[in-house]
Amino acid sequence: MLDGEELGVTSKTVGQALRSQKPEVMRLVGTAGNFGEQIGLSNAWAANVIKSVGNYGEVFERNLGVKTPLAIPRGLNQLWDSGGIQYAAPIR
């Protein structure tokens, strides 16, 4: 889910991501490599998760974010390149 957020893949754009030619996106959504198989899942496992619930940012904002009753700002839960500490190892 963090990789999806870093790569700009959201629940709304996962269809586009499946047609992407970017190697990182292709590995994430399972159109290149066999990472899913290596861990006992389908190669589309990450695409299925993101399509179903969204990337990390979408899930955070929907359940905890400033527009929810909890109104928690992302703060340190932002991606590392946005001032937070969230970093996902690349899928390889």
Q: Residue 90: exposed, middle, or buried by beta-carbon count in 10 A (0-12, 13-18, 19+)?
A: exposed
Residues in the chain, total: 92
DSSP assigned state of 86:
B
Cross-strand pairs, 86: 79
Give yes or no for residue 43 having a pLDDT over 80. Answer: yes
What per-residue confidence (pLDDT) applies to 56? 98
Q: How far apart are CA 38 and CA 25, in angstroms?
A: 18
Q: Which residue has the higher pLDDT, 38 or 69?
A: 69
From 33-37, 46-50, 71-75, 81-85, the region with the lowest mean pLDDT: 33-37
Q: How far apart are CA 64 and CA 29, in angstroms?
A: 26
pTM of full prediction above 0.75: yes
What per-residue confidence (pLDDT) applies to 91? 79
DSSP assigned state of 90:
P
Give yes or no for residue 92 having a pLDDT over 80. Answer: no
pLDDT, average across residues 54-68:
98
Q: How far apart are CA 15 and CA 86, in angstroms?
A: 25
